[in-house]
Structure 1
Amino acid sequence: MDVLIRTTQIGLIVMAIAFWGSADAAEVTPEQADFFETKIRPVLVKRCYGCHSNESGNARGGLRLDTRELTHIGGSSGPAIVPGDLDGSLLFNAMTHQDFVMPPRSEMLPQAVIDDFRKWIEMGAPDPRSGAVTEIRSSIDEQQIQQAKAEFWAYQKPTRRQPPKADGDWSLTDIDRWIEAELAENQLAPSSDASAYTVARRLYFDLIGLPPTVRQIADFQKSWDRDPTAAIAAAADQLLQSPQFGERWGRHWLDVARYAESSGRGVNLTYPQAWRYRDYVIDSFNSDKPYDRFVQEQLAGDLLPVSSDEQWAENLIATGFLALGPKDVNQRNGTQFAADLVDEQIDVTTRVLIGTSIACARCHDHKFDPIPQTDYYAMVGIFGNMSTYFGVPASSIGIARGLQTQQTSNLLRMPIDDPNPFEKAVSPAELESMRERLATASSELREARINQRRPGATPVPISRIVRMTGEIEYLSAKLGGHDPQGNPISFCMGVQAKEQPKEVRLLVRGEIDQPAQVVPPGFPRVLSDEPASIADGSTGRLEFARWITDRDNPLTARVMVNRIWQHLLGQGIVASPENFGSTGSAPTHPELLDHLAVEFVESGWSVKSVIRQIVTSRVYRIDSEFDRSSFEKDPENKLLWRANMRRLDAEAIRDAMLFVSGKIDLDRPGASLVAESGYMRVRDGNLVNLFDLSGNASRGGMGAAMGGSMGMAAGAMQDRGSNQRRGRFGRNRQRGGISQTLLPTPGTDRLDMSTAEYRSVYLPVVRDEVPRALAVFDFAEPSMVVGQRESSSTPNQALFLMNNPFVIAQADALAQRVSEEAKTPAARLRLAFELSFGRSPNATEVSAIRRYLSDFEDVQSNRGRALAMTALCQSLLASADFRYLD
């Protein structure tokens, strides 16, 4: 059988993982066995085993047909047989010469043979061939699980305890009482309060990621002089209502959600619809969406009841959490791709939400935590029963030079009119012209392919096949991406549940061709008081989302309040935010962690409520002053005897430069650069047309060949009218979605954002090509769950601050602003400091700067003064005072 490369639907691939429950040998009746032995096996042996069997030593395309299990798993294109599903059975597809041809270079098999295979598949593909199933016995028994639940802190429900009584008047809140008690027990004293100036900068950067102005600091100082606690509370309330709050705290979530706008891995293809999830996260934090609802929408938004199209669209976008991860779209084996996809989804879900790496049990029992391998595959039974729509285009049967996209996906059609802002409407006449050209091009391609199989015929050049296929995909995408009136249709990334859930088998050592016993869907037992209750016919994903957010779940609230504490205090109560297991860090203040978790749930899962509670505590406002005696007792400051000195993160540094220069644009930009560029390949900092036959990062390629620049999208667009789901409010909604739209784009776009002036959270996050202004200051690796960023100090950072065009542009803008708003040298110097640091220079700084400026030649001329002021402003932007809090 000649296995060609073709677009594989993810929903079909995942079915291959779950097939084993449908055709066990024990279920095959004598009549079915006789049919297989007389009608099916002889054809397989004679016509297929020569290329696809273990005995022949050949498995062309990764496909073997000599066992039941391997026949169902299939090869690089997906499952060869899906019981009861002719369309999903690629073996039948090949026998009937649809997308494949089997046997290769031969006439179609006799109709009687084809009819036998049709009947066999429709009856459930009964297959009596020996396929002995191994049963893996776990080394983790029920007694060990129960012992861990009884003894390990993280597996026990958080409980509210009475805070210790404090001596003196240092403690203001219950948070402080827990902190003070630990300090006293270790013979440590808390540092004194920081200045109003320091606390104001701390508060503004922590809550909105921007510096306070001189006026805001002065107002805060006046309020502080009357009542520090009231001053902080009032400022916090104001900042929590600012739209910049969601941009700051939404970025924290995007770090752990491994948000990015491309697939990464070997073939780095763009995700032009990823920005919708980014905006959803920012809006959720701004509206203080209850965290339990926020989580449920991301895990099972497609299954939650809704009351409007707008809510339904928001839920679909939220499930982008499961679709955004890195993907090896170059993986030839579709079943392996699907197994890896589910593994990545389980990993990000469990590490982000419950601080537990369940994915460690994919190949064997967890080495350190009481999580048997069966618990992992119980979750595969939940996550494997959904289709993931991540929107990576087809690659013209994989033969475009330098590009081999084996695994592709559609997108979800949204129920509201909210198209990509860069999509353009087309006229009805243009639509009709494209339909006519599509019909002609499709006919020409069919003839070319038939001609290639004719003996003695002149072969059609591969380049011509590629160009014709590309044109068909372009036209199909354009037509499918617009309604009959020519208006663009709205799409998003996300997931959808399968119509009929499938059970799964455990895989020995995680190998897809070594199935063991059936594992029913379920939740990690060490975190569950009762077995998972999953209704018949349900995938279990909605039940899982509700279990995760149940107020009795021992980890969900703890993990989130620990993240909040870390972002405000510089380190978590649990220093390993994604690992609350036995190899993770023990909590420094376990009672405080429980207190915050209980308060979080009782507040209605309000993130803003927890933030307000922390920033109004005494410990939040203490100084970072060094004390040798305290340092010797607690060198890592685990007990918080002083504030942690923190460098601003990458976004805050860039945004602060734009803010003080007066150039920042606080309006949300439309979509993103990636959305504007469309479906492209990322290579060497460039966005390249997917079908650039030259293999170079240059304009032209397929776009030029077709009379214009373009980005390629998925194969032929088709409206899956049968794949719909009726909403609670009576409207039909698309479930499976249509193949993604196509955006006219340049052949190449440089991912250089040095001239962008909007906030950093809106910069394109392309895997392996993060903007320099972010990457140099330890931006979160977008292919990983990053709960705590590194904070380094490197020569590259100094070079960036000295030479990068963005920094120079902001220094020049700041110098111009200072020169325009102040008239004397002394006033300009003072204003430069006030804009940069929120304070005036001291006498030492004034003296040093005057000496520095005197070194400039011709400082009395207009040009000399301008150069000197720009150099001064750049030195302020590059200073430690600008980059560090405290």
Structure 2
Amino acid sequence: MLPRSLAAALLLSLPAAAAAPATKDPWWSLLPIPPPTPLPANPVDHFIRAALAPTPPAPPADPRTLIRRLSYDLTGLPPSHAETADFISAFNTNPDAATAALADRLLASPQYGERWARHWLDAVHYGDTHGYDKDQPRPNAWPYRDYVIRALNSDKPYARFVSEQLAGDALFPDSRDGIEALGFISAGPWDLIGHAEVPEDKTDGKIARHLDRDDMVTNAMSTFTSLTVHCAQCHDHKFDPVSAEDYYSLQAVFAAVDRADRPYDSDPATAATRRALTSEESSLKSREANLIAPALPRGADSLAALDKLIADSRQPAASLAAQAGFHATISDSQASPKWVQIDLARPTAFTTTILHPCHDDFAGIGDGFGFPPRFKVEASNDPDFKQDVVTIADHSAADFPNPKITAVSFNSKTTARFVRVTATTLAHRQKDYIFALAELEILDAAGHNLAAGAPVSSLDSVEAAPRWRRSNLTDRWYPGADAAALAAPPASIANLEKARLLIVESLIGPAAAAELTTTRSRLAELTAQLNTLPPPSRVYCGTVHHGSGTFTGTGPNGGEPRPIHVLSRGDVRRPGPPATPGAILAVKSLPGRFSIPPDAPEGARRAALANWITDPANPLTWRSIVNRVWQHHFGRGLVDTPGDFGRMGGLPSHPALLDWLAADFRDHGGSLKRLHRILVTSHTYRQSSSHFNPDAASSDPENRLLWRMNRRKLEAEAVRDSLLAVSGLLNPAMGGPAFQDFVVLHPEHSPHYEYQLADLANPALHRRSIYRFLVRSKPQPWMATLDCADPSLLVDRRTQTITPLQALAQLNNQLTFVASSHFASTLDSLPGSLSDKIREAFLRTLQRDPSPDELATTAAYAKTHGLANTCRVLLNLNEFNFAD
């Protein structure tokens, strides 16, 4: 897959592709699913053996192999020796009953959800960082991961599972799951620079947001329907019946959605209390605003200044230090003048103007970050600086030495309302140019800072709170300032609020002032009650922006859907006709466009898409999920392209079986656990993988007809978790923030995730791999070597390789040393001879006794190299790393 930045460039540069519309013939995946017919036996065996005949199936796997296969498939962990012995005993009495009971036990275990959540998170490209250049962490992404685990363990009906992830806040507004599930929308990579540092009305900003919506559309349609609709963003799909109008109708569904941390209450009672209090609070604030409204035209300047001072005074000292200052938008030309100015509210006499440089470690710049080499400082009573302009300082003719962290002061005895700093030449950053200032102070003759809290305007700016925003220029904070001294005591805040109230009361009259006092008294009571509630939880998810300036990464849409147009050749500079919310027209049993009232909340669009996808008449949805589940049990889907059911994807090997399972799954409430039971209790699943039939191998070398079971290499997570489980180190704690098996260096901009610095003996790092913090830009080296999924990509099917490097990495990985040492210590603590301890090691790792030759060879090795190295060898055996 191309990097998004390169893809964006190609969208704007490639010539129009020759039109080659997809054929109109019905495609198998779009045809209705026929109703399932009653079958005399397990449906898997019925259809598989009918296609396989006259070739006989392989004989059944032995019970030890079967319990390992089932345990890894359903929980991702090996069975214990005791569990294996019990199953073998039951299996020898009644194989069918023993297998069914084992499947039920494993499906009921909490580890089932942990195992199958990993498959789901692969498909939706979940990660704990943004990706792209800066790859900043997402500390609140994990509630979505926990939601998936919880939903799978509770066997949540699949239609509800899908709907919550697309529109849980709209369809199930009072539920915790309805909010946490929205992490699906934001699961993929996000371009911090393209959103936070580039205005939405600029071309690059439009491209960033177009690609962001494309990620949402692609994730939804690929995951839930196995269609590649994103191929239609430049022209009608060349192979499948998906038009460009279809694609942009899907983009319109997500037109209001951005990505951010969303507050919510995980406790239903707390959520209900907060809703009631905030509802009353909202009503009272509306009343307060109506009472104050008559005063605003006459007291706007004074009230605005006091509001800013009050807000700044309430700001914690620690948060001030996080504010770097003002930052103009990035330019690719050094000769692109940028300006920023402050408004003193009225013509005011002042004597000194001080520019405070920024400090920022980006690109190793540090002190003096963004300070312009050429600039001028001017004052005027005209906000446009077209007349009566007084020059305070002019350094536009020659380069001014970078002051680093030293304030630059100018004498400026004048009277003016506006003070402007213009960067006539921008500062060089890396491959671009910038203008940044930490603070602008305007001092009167007594040394008072007249600019504190003053309104700031600029040609443009990066609004990435709290570090960069216009208001930071007059917040009194700059490198070297005493943050604690800037924090006003409560008495000062009370005085400011009293002054504000007096101004308002003098302007609205005594009757309204009395009502205002009563209203504010009740508001204070509500605030006190709200403050007694537990702080809300937060989840990084798809949400909408209702505020301004502090919601990183959004444009000024105010929570309203942005206008979406069909783009000519996918070029944001060439918008065509407007697009209305919808899906695709190719599913003939369902409307392809949604009937949504113009005044409906934005969530209605996502709810309509959720209802379209989960409609029983939508054949794509039910075939898609059944095929995904089949793939993870048999090693290959009935359709071997699980993310593409179009003409460029594979054809089903057993179409009647796929349709029977899809219809049965849909008609039985979308129960995933029921589907698992059908598959894993079949004789097809229980076949041996080691049986060899020369005739079958010749006619079906890829085993598409399943004449035997497929032997499968364990995924990276299953290997790691098994290593911890067998050694006795596995920490079974479920849920909560991810553990970080790395140390973060330089977290300010582009964090360096250093895995080699982590202490892998730390028990906090011994949780299951599903709880590992997933970094997009720098994967964990050992896990990557074992073909771990790339969280930047939609991974429907993992790459499977077998290389010498994998064996070397597993043998010499630091976690293997830690686990082997602990494993050996545990064995050493047991009574008995060395041979007894080796037998115990075999039972724990392979669930069987060693053969006499194995015992002799291993004992000789242990005497020479020690028990810890012996454990390392056992943990690196093929038998340990494969499910037969």
TM range (shorter): 0.5 to 0.7
Q: Within 1, Cα distance between the matches of 2:404 and 2:578? A: 45
Of 581, 588, 601, which residue of structure 2 is paired with 1:521? 581
**1:277-320 residue CA offsets vs partner (Å, 9 max, x unmatched):** 111111111111111111111111121144x4xx1x32122111
Task: Name the residue aligned to 2:597.
Answer: 536
Within-5 A mapping of 1:396-415: 411-415=261-265
CA contact (8 A) 2:584 2:592 kept: no
Change (3 A) 1:810 1:544: same
**1:663-703 residue CA offsets vs partner (Å, 9 max, x unmatched):** 111112631246xx9xxxxxxx75244547xx9969xxxxx
**1:72-115 residue CA offsets vs partner (Å, 9 max, x unmatched):** xxxxxxxxxxxxxxxxxxxxxxxxxxxxxxxxxxxxxxxxxxxx
SS at match of 2:149: helix
CA contact (8 A) 1:822 1:831 kept: no
Of 173, 176, 187, which residue of structure 1 is paired with 2:45? 176
Q: CA deviation at 1:161?
A: 4.7
Of 529, 538, 558, which residue of structure 2 is paired with 1:491? 538
Q: Does 1:614 align with 2:648?
A: no
Task: Name the residue aligned to 2:717.
Answer: 651
Q: Within 1, Cα distance between the matches of 2:781 and 2:761? A: 9
| Paired amino acid for 1:340 | L
Once the two structures are aligned, what percentage of the paired residues are identical?
32
Of 358, 369, 389, which residue of structure 1 is paired with 2:259? 389
Task: Name the residue aligned to 1:660.
Answer: 726
Q: Within 1, Cα distance between the matches of 2:726 and 2:587? A: 49
Q: CA deviation at 1:504?
A: 2.5
Q: Within 2, Cα distance between the matches of 1:839 and 1:500? A: 62
Q: Within 2, Cα distance between the matches of 1:606 and 1:556? A: 14
**1:577-620 residue CA offsets vs partner (Å, 9 max, x unmatched):** 00111111100110110111111112211111100111111111
Q: CA deviation at 1:751?
A: 6.1
Q: Within 2, Cα distance between the matches of 1:444 and 1:370? A: 51
Task: Name the residue aligned to 2:874.
Answer: 876
Of 799, 808, 818, which residue of structure 2 is paired with 1:790? 799
Task: Name the residue aligned to 1:774.
Answer: 783
Q: Does 1:366 align with 2:237?
A: yes
Of 66, 69, 73, which residue of structure 2 is paired with 1:199? 66
CA contact (8 A) 1:688 1:749 kept: no
Q: Going by fraction, where is strand more abundant, 1 or 2?
A: 2
Q: Within 1, Cα distance between the matches of 2:649 and 2:207? A: 30
CA contact (8 A) 2:325 2:467 kept: no
Task: Name the residue aligned to 1:349.
Answer: 220
Q: CA deviation at 1:435?
A: 4.2
Task: Name the residue aligned to 1:504.
Answer: 564
Of 200, 214, 226, which residue of structure 1 is paired with 2:93? 226
Q: Within 2, Cα distance between the matches of 1:520 and 1:797? A: 50
Length-normalised TM-score, structure 2: 0.66
SS at match of 2:607: helix
| Paired amino acid for 2:873 | S
CA contact (8 A) 1:649 1:777 kept: yes
Of 770-779 and 230-239, more deviation after overlay is shown by: 770-779
| Paired amino acid for 1:368 | F
Q: CA deviation at 1:768?
A: 2.4
Q: CA deviation at 1:366?
A: 0.8
CA contact (8 A) 2:165 2:185 kept: yes
Of 563, 567, 583, which residue of structure 1 is paired with 2:628? 563
Change (3 A) 1:327 1:449: farther
SS at match of 1:190: coil
Q: Within 2, Cα distance between the matches of 1:609 and 1:448? A: 71
SS at match of 1:319: helix
Q: CA deviation at 1:461?
A: 4.7
Q: Does 1:263 align with 2:320?
A: no
SS at match of 1:218: helix
Length-normalised TM-score, structure 1: 0.66
**1:319-346 residue CA offsets vs partner (Å, 9 max, x unmatched):** 1111121122233421111100001111
CA contact (8 A) 2:36 2:664 kept: no
Q: CA deviation at 1:160?
A: 3.1
| Paired amino acid for 1:328 | D
CA contact (8 A) 1:503 1:520 kept: no
Within-5 A mapping of 1:147-186: 147-148=25-26, 152-162=27-37, 172-184=41-53
Q: Does 1:325 align with 2:188?
A: yes
Q: CA deviation at 1:823?
A: 1.7
SS at match of 1:261: coil
Q: Does 1:285 align with 2:135?
A: no
Q: Within 1, Cα distance between the matches of 2:95 and 2:673? A: 20
Q: Mind listing any 5+ residue stretches in structure 2 that lack a counterpart?
A: 1-7, 10-15, 199-203, 271-311, 327-341, 343-352, 357-374, 379-390, 407-435, 440-465, 478-482, 489-526, 545-557
| Paired amino acid for 1:178 | F
Q: CA deviation at 1:794?
A: 1.6
CA contact (8 A) 2:627 2:638 kept: yes
Q: CA deviation at 1:803?
A: 1.4
Q: Within 1, Cα distance between the matches of 2:613 and 2:536? A: 34
Change (3 A) 1:551 1:521: same
Q: Within 2, Cα distance between the matches of 1:441 and 1:795? A: 48
Of 98, 101, 104, which residue of structure 2 is paired with 1:237? 104
Change (3 A) 1:494 1:697: closer
CA contact (8 A) 1:163 1:178 kept: no
Q: Within 2, Cα distance between the matches of 1:659 and 1:560? A: 30
CA contact (8 A) 1:764 1:771 kept: no
Q: Within 1, Cα distance between the matches of 2:217 and 2:559? A: 21
Q: Within 1, Cα distance between the matches of 2:674 and 2:719? A: 27
Change (3 A) 1:772 1:238: same
Change (3 A) 1:266 1:666: same
Q: CA deviation at 1:804?
A: 1.2
Q: Within 1, Cα distance between the matches of 2:755 and 2:266? A: 31
| Paired amino acid for 1:812 | S
Task: Name the residue aligned to 2:205.
Answer: 334
SS at match of 1:782: coil
Q: Within 2, Cα distance between the matches of 1:607 and 1:456? A: 72
Q: Within 2, Cα distance between the matches of 1:164 and 1:173? A: 7
| Paired amino acid for 2:220 | T
Q: CA deviation at 1:232?
A: 1.0
Change (3 A) 1:437 1:752: closer
| Paired amino acid for 1:173 | N
Task: Name the residue aligned to 1:453.
Answer: 377
Change (3 A) 1:805 1:302: same
Q: CA deviation at 1:139?
A: 6.3
Q: CA RMSD in A?
A: 3.7
Q: Within 2, Cα distance between the matches of 1:441 and 1:239? A: 49
**1:188-240 residue CA offsets vs partner (Å, 9 max, x unmatched):** 21100000111011111111111111111111111111211110111111111
Q: Within 2, Cα distance between the matches of 1:510 and 1:660? A: 53
Within-5 A mapping of 1:17-32: none
SS at match of 1:493: strand
CA contact (8 A) 1:660 1:835 kept: yes
Q: CA deviation at 1:442?
A: 8.7
Of 658, 680, 683, which residue of structure 2 is paired with 1:593? 658
Q: Within 2, Cα distance between the matches of 1:748 and 1:850? A: 35
Within-5 A mapping of 1:723-802: 750=757, 755=762, 756-802=765-811
CA contact (8 A) 1:507 1:515 kept: yes
SS at match of 2:622: helix
CA contact (8 A) 2:118 2:770 kept: yes
Q: Within 1, Cα distance between the matches of 2:318 and 2:817? A: 51
Greater relative contact order structure (CA < 8 Å, 6+ sep): 2
| Paired amino acid for 2:573 | D
SS at match of 2:257: strand
Q: Within 2, Cα distance between the matches of 1:636 and 1:226? A: 34
| Paired amino acid for 2:594 | S
